[in-house]
Structure 1
């Protein structure tokens, strides 16, 4: 029985070592990018739909720097969100993050991205921002990070924010109104 138990433990050891190594790797970049192919959708129609979302449905307030270029069919705007770190006692410490949403339409689809995350580490100085990668490096160097895991916490929350914004946009783009009416003309 001891040999069987020892064999199982030794067999599981490589799996545990791989998992430990995976957590020491640098985190993936924060953001979301997608390219959507829509044959014959029309650049101006896609641009108009995306602009409507950016102006009326973008919920990451306060939004800033809406830059719409109809000739190039591009849109760029900045949004705001919140991520939370915890202090050594486990109390939430909210941080404001800024990010960029950008959109580019073509005749056969569009590309959009949610990226360029910046953290405002001190709410008393909102003009001072730090790139999220630099901020995660600072968190990793913190002596309490083994207890709080703030570097992973911020990464996960920022990726969730990027995913939510992308999902909201994609859902809106997928719910495009029908151009033709259903039923026979002239019927009520």
Structure 2
């Protein structure tokens, strides 16, 4: 009986330490919804691009088409962030946890470097050198690196998702003509699978 109590005490102490050192308010449902947003965004992007847009790094796109693709990506990103914030806030409130603390600050700080640097690189290649074909692979790679960097401050499963996104981006660099397909798989399907797993594991 005492041994069982000791194990329970150790488990409780571990949970308290995790709450103080890791961001535990991520909601799996936000991952599912982010994946759905991404698939919808990919479908819209597919309707903009002509078949000849897929087979080269520098496809012949009109300026308005590039801006429409950028707006599409921004809308998907905004919806994903706002949904993630709302659901994380709701989960934190239910569990009496702080949504904004030093752990969250560190997680965001560590993820911002690859996200911002990757975003600047992609925008430069697209708008200055018209290298639209590398946009999808690079966004997957840098997003994956951001997840890996942030994973030490939250659930360990985030690291696995980050590795998968990075590898998918590297593979898609060999198949430039299928960038949108890989982008839909990475930001859409992988998020839905990850979110579903996290929802059932930590609900």
Higher RCO (CA-CA < 8 Å; seq separation 6+): 2
Q: Normalising by the residue count of structure 1, what TM-score does the alignment of the two structures yield?
A: 0.26
Q: Normalising by the residue count of structure 2, what TM-score does the alignment of the two structures yield?
A: 0.25
Q: Would you tell me which structure has more helix in proportion to its own residues?
A: 2
Q: Would you tell me which structure has more strand in proportion to its own residues?
A: 1
